[in-house]
Amino acid sequence: MNAADDKTIVREYFNSTGFDRWKRIYGDGEVNKVQLDIRNGHQQTVDSVIGWLKNDGNLAELSICDAGCGVGSLSIPLATEGAKIYASDISEKMVEEGKQRALETLGNAENPTFAVQDLESLSGSYHTVICLDVLIHYPQEKADEMISHLCSLAQSRIILSFAPKTCALTLLKKIGSFFPGPSKTTRAYLHREADVIKILESNGFAIQRKEFTKTRFYFSRILEATRP
Ligand code: SAM
């Protein structure tokens, strides 16, 4: 399968069965045990990133690109803290849901701004570019291109999360729970941390902070890298 196919499959998935599944996981309604575990794991990833940014004490001065924003799980709390958020996602349905949730939470449609866009077609320049749990849908070669493009949009900092290759065995279970039954139409790719760091460094960034989220069915390495 080539990368273009990956992208089409991912878009279609997150506009159909994937949308229904992930909207629930990234919500607060009733879910099964596996989905609850993934919900909690993902929330820890989001909380780690928010914790870093709040600690720095300058959120209200920042412009942030949230690439592959999903339903706004990160964008909405960051906008609540006063950052200017540019949220985008390849899936129209995820973006619609994100807009709706932002309106309910924040009561305005100005911040975050939402757009339906493949992250590789994003342009502009942002203080910080963030891309959480998106690379899992792409093989390393494609992920390298995506990371390089995101680096080109970042004035100061990039924050990425991905499923690390070291947890391969345990992750097989997770993949089964990601795409169960007949909706098993997308693949999950693991990435070696060393490969991700190499591509960040080759784009002129240096690693600053790292975090690792691990629950039973959810694994995510978070890296923050800045321009020296
Ligand atoms: N980043 C969000 C979060 O952590 O809450 C969502 C994570 S969800 C597992 C992956 C998201 O990436 C989906 O909403 C999907 O539509 C989006 N996505 C996948 N490929 C993308 C691409 N090439 N450009 C933009 N978004 C993409």
Q: Work out how many domains the chain is built from and give that number.
A: 1
pTM: 0.94
Mutate to test the pocket of ligand 1, among 8, 24, 50, 90 (most ligand atoms within 8 A of CB): 90
Residues 6 or more apart whose CB falls under 8 angstroms from that of 221 comprise 161, 162, 163, 164, 193, 196, 210, 211, 212
Q: Is the ipTM of this complex over 0.85?
A: yes
CB 150 less than 6 A from any atom of ligand 1: no
CATH code of the domain in which 76 resides: 3.40.50.150
Of all protein residues, whose CA lies closest to atom 23 belonging to ligand 1? 118
97 lines ligand 1 (CB under 6 A): no
Cβ 70 under 6 angstroms from ligand 1: yes
Which atom number of ligand 1 is nearest to the Cα of residue 138?
20
Distance 43 CA to ligand 1 centre (A): 15
Q: Please report, in tens digits, the pLDDT of each residue of the chain (228 residues total).
A: 565 688 999 999 999 999 999 999 999 999 999 999 999 999 999 999 999 999 999 999 999 999 999 999 999 999 999 999 999 999 999 999 999 999 999 998 899 999 999 999 999 999 999 999 999 999 999 999 999 999 999 999 999 999 999 765 555 545 655 554 444 446 789 999 999 999 999 999 999 999 999 999 899 999 999 999
Residue 143, domain extent: 3-226
CB 75 less than 6 A from any atom of ligand 1: no
| Beta-sheet strands, E only, within the chain | 63-67, 84-89, 113-116, 126-131, 154-162, 206-214, 219-226
